[in-house]
A and B are shown apart, each in its own frame.
Chain A
Amino acid sequence: QENAQGHDEL
């Protein structure tokens, strides 16, 4: 799911 800063994985 989206956390505040968008997707944090490559």
Chain B
Amino acid sequence: MNIFRLVGDLSHLLAIFVLLLKIWKSRSCAGVSGKSQILFALVFITRYLDLFTNFISVYNSLMKVIFIASTVATVYLMYIKFKATYDSNHDTFRIEFLVVPVGGLAFLVNHDFTPLEILWTFSIYLESVAILPQLFMISKTGEAETITSHYLFALGSYRALYLLNWIYRYYFEGYFDLIAVVAGCVQTILYCDFFYLYITKVMWGKKLSLPA
């Protein structure tokens, strides 16, 4: 474990709970893409199947449980409890256009052609594009609530911190995972546009609105 990965994981945890609290407190999921949340739930479920078969540490197992439970809870709040506030008219990204190609790629490019490893690879590839429905929804509505932009900032920062973690681990542990690094770069690059808007607008107390 290193500081980059720890802060990254905590940033990830913060993002998930900021979103969960926003929906729970405001009793509304306006401006939030349910499709992205479904993809994140899929990412965690396919990635953490080794939860019971492969004990790494208490921290690792605990975080896996928290990530799965909180993301499933978010999907539940969006599609069941506060379904009436779900903005399906703007959440129109065709996620099958993400899941199918990513599924195919996971079969073709992986470290080990075993079910668990292919699912882990699928999860890594899917996570890199899972935010697209959310970014697409913001581009359609033209703006995002400030709390939603904080959620996105924390979520985007987590994988950027993981990139630093991989640099650290490469030099100090000789650890390198090309699949995770490439997917992590794609994932972080997708946030660049948002990071620019967040730093130039939200940091100065303005609302995040995309140029019309």
Chain A, 1-10, CB within 8 A of any chain B CB: 1-3, 5-10
**Chain A residues in 8 Å Cβ range of B12:** 10
Indicate if B67 sits at the interface (CB-CB under 8 A): yes
Indicate if B63 sits at the interface (CB-CB under 8 A): yes
What's the dominant secondary structure at chain A's contact region?
Answer: loop
User: With A1-B176, A1-B177 given, is the CB distance from A6 to B54 under 8 Å?
Assistant: yes
Determine the interface band of chain B, counting residues with CB < 8 A from chain A: 20 to 34
| Cβ contact of A8, chosen from B60, B116, B117, B176, cutoff 8 A | B60
Indicate if B180 sits at the interface (CB-CB under 8 A): yes
Distance, CA A5 to CA B56, complexed state (A): 7
User: With A1-B176, A2-B111, A2-B112 given, is the CB distance from A7 to B9 under 8 Å?
Assistant: no
Indicate if B5 sits at the interface (CB-CB under 8 A): yes
Indicate if B120 sits at the interface (CB-CB under 8 A): yes
Per-position contact with A for B1-13: 1 when CB-CB < 8 Å, else 0? 0000100010010
Across the interface, do B64 and A6 meet the contact criterion of CB distance under 8 Å? Answer: no
Nearest B residue to A3 via CB reads B175
Given A1-B175, A7-B50, A10-B60, output 16 extra A-B contacts at Cβ < 8 Å: A1-B177, A2-B112, A2-B117, A5-B54, A5-B56, A6-B50, A6-B56, A6-B116, A7-B120, A8-B60, A9-B165, A9-B180, A10-B9, A10-B63, A10-B64, A10-B67
Chain A residues with CB under 8 Å of chain B are: 1-3, 5-10
